[in-house]
Amino acid sequence: MAATQPNSHPNSPTVDQSDRTVPINLRQSGPTPVQMLIDTRVRKSPYWHLSMEAGCWRASVYNRMYHPRGYVPESEGGMMVEYDSLVNHVTLWNVAVERQIRVLGPDAEAFVNFVITRDATKIPAMHARYVILCNEAGGVLNDPVLLRVAEDEFWFSLSDSDLLFWLQGINVGHRFDVDIREIDVSPVQIQGPKSIDLMTDLFGPAVAELPPYGLLAGEVAGCPVIVSQTGFSGEKGYEIYLKDSTLHAEAMWNAVLEAGKPHQLAVVAPAHHRRIAAGILSWGQDLDQETLPFQANLGYQVPREKTADYIGKAALEAARVQLEAGTPPYTHQLVGLRIGGRAIEDYAPDFWLISASSTENTGDDAGPGEPVGYVTSPWFSPELGHNIAMGYVPVGLTAVGTELWVHLPDQYAEEAGRPVAAEVVEVPFRPSVNPNQREILRQRGLDAAV
């Protein structure tokens, strides 16, 4: 790693990133408030102005689109008030940044099967799956929800990376008989315990019968949509994919707001505090194109029984052999953490650093040594009464119960300038209403890691 420059923050060279070409930026810059420039180089979703009307006061950029990230002002409780609406009532999220990439044509199934690690031939029409796509080195390029809306038509509901260009590029060389393009479909999420009541009011009793990852065609205010029982929260939830969304955004959005009034519907930002508790990953934050699935506990996404070739298969199978031999091909593994300190009630601006106990002091009062890892997704859990997080630590420090230290900003630290105690714990941190595949495998006593 580059030497520390004068008058700059060190990028923590003690954290071994020898398995990466581009190290994670571990500089601790802290919050740096700026005014976001709204211009034509970044796209506004069809719901952008509707989010503004609902009180959105801050945003980030996701998939080169403006992404609402807060509605309740900090002076009125901020994200924890939004969290309360999610876990006790029902919420509407503008997630149009999940761009929809359609693969359509006679070879659609064969093409999709070549670019995802799971077996696309086992996905029935009008069902969805959480999937990953890897590059030739086995790094995770994207972890979208994949919708199969017909035998010859799939939609990739994207995480934050330019997958469209990659998919089109793959087909330049392989020439599957498919059309690959982004389509005018924009999703919203309906999440929370009362989501089933709101969705039943909109779509009738059939929606209550949808299994996890099931799909349903319907209409809202006369506008055609696809509904899935999916979400980014771990709570009961659905997504509504609006077709021709540039034309129908207002009609659909306002109809959902009206139907939500009896159920205390609130428009909120995606609830990262709840998805962390559920162990749901965020691409670009918890994993990226230099992360192997096994590092991020996504080994179940690499099935041994898939005989068909796919991009990254050789690298992933070789990595699994190394893992089973006890020689992981990477330095760090994603773990769950229980963290001390004051309640973390907002997004972290940095990847906060993690230290092991000092090797220079082996007594009971052993303090933190040099940083060896980093936190990816921290937040406070009201149900558990303490801070939780996911983060990367050296493979030798991943055992549940391992004691660590986290270098929190002074606003969250128990003592200014001193790291707080942390402990490796199981993920998910609390059960999900809609368990993901990793939770289901663990419930069955199966190994979801490798």
Tokens of 187: 């999703």
In a domain, 396, yes or no: yes
Last residue of a domain, one of 203, 228, 263: 263
**Per-residue pLDDT for 1 more than 50?**
no
Kind and range of the H or E element at 377?
A: strand 368-381
Predicted pLDDT at 44: 97
In a domain, 212, yes or no: yes
**Per-residue pLDDT for 61 more than 70?**
yes
Q: How large is the average pLDDT for residues 25-45? A: 93
Number of helices and strands in the chain (H, E): 9, 21
Q: Is the separation of the CB atoms in 15 and 35 below 8 Å?
A: no
Last residue of a domain, one of 263, 289, 311: 263
Predicted pLDDT at 9: 72
Which residue is listed with tokens 């082996």?
Answer: 362
Q: How large is the average pLDDT for residues 260-285? A: 97
Last residue of a domain, one of 234, 263, 292: 263
- Are 257 and 335 contained in the same domain? no
Q: How large is the average pLDDT for residues 357-363? A: 58
**Per-residue pLDDT for 37 more than 50?**
yes
> Hey, which bits of 265-365 come out as E strands?
265-267, 332-339, 353-357
Q: How large is the average pLDDT for residues 352-381? A: 84
Q: Which CATH number do you get for residue 371?
A: 2.40.30.110
Predicted pLDDT at 3: 42
The confidence band for 450, taking pLDDT boundaries of 50, 70 and 90, is low
Predicted pLDDT at 10: 82
Tokens of 234: 């771990």
- Are 336 and 245 contained in the same domain? no
The confidence band for 431, taking pLDDT boundaries of 50, 70 and 90, is confident
In a domain, 368, yes or no: yes
In a domain, 300, yes or no: no
Beta-carbon contacts of residue 328 (< 8 Å; ≥ 6 apart): 294, 322, 395
In a domain, 371, yes or no: yes
**Of the candidate ranges 26-40, 62-76, 212-226, 252-266, the one whose mean pLDDT is the lowest:** 26-40
Q: How large is the average pLDDT for residues 348-352? A: 97
Q: For 210-246, what is each residue's pLDDT tens digit? A: 999 999 999 999 999 999 999 999 999 999 999 999 9
In a domain, 4, yes or no: yes
- Are 336 and 449 contained in the same domain? yes
Predicted pLDDT at 5: 45
Predicted pLDDT at 448: 53
The confidence band for 439, taking pLDDT boundaries of 50, 70 and 90, is low
Q: For 90-139, give the DSSP string.
A: EEEEE-TTS-EEEEESTTHHHHHHHHSSS-GGG--TTEEEE--EE-TT--
**Per-residue pLDDT for 444 more than 60?**
no
Predicted pLDDT at 2: 40
Domain range enclosing 373: 1-30+331-450
- Are 227 and 335 contained in the same domain? no
- Are 259 and 336 contained in the same domain? no
Q: Which CATH number do you get for residue 247?
A: 3.30.1360.120
Q: For 86-141, what is each residue's pLDDT tens digit? A: 999 999 999 999 999 999 999 999 999 999 999 999 999 999 999 999 999 999 99
Predicted pLDDT at 175: 96
Predicted pLDDT at 64: 97
Q: For 173-182, what is each residue's pLDDT tens digit? A: 999 999 999 9
Q: How large is the average pLDDT for residues 332-342? A: 98
Neighbours of 450 (CB within 10 A): 14
Q: How large is the average pLDDT for residues 276-302? A: 97
In a domain, 129, yes or no: no
Q: For 44-76, give the DSSP string.
A: PPTTHHHHHHTT--EEEEETTEEEEEE-S-GGG
- Are 450 and 335 contained in the same domain? yes
Predicted pLDDT at 169: 97
Report if pTM > 0.85.
Answer: yes
For residues 431 and 86, which has the higher predicted lDDT (pLDDT)? 86
Q: How large is the average pLDDT for residues 427-436? A: 79
**Per-residue pLDDT for 357 more than 80?**
yes
Q: How large is the average pLDDT for residues 287-296? A: 98
In a domain, 174, yes or no: no
pLDDT, the chain, mean: 93
Domain count for the chain, please give it: 2
- Are 445 and 345 contained in the same domain? yes
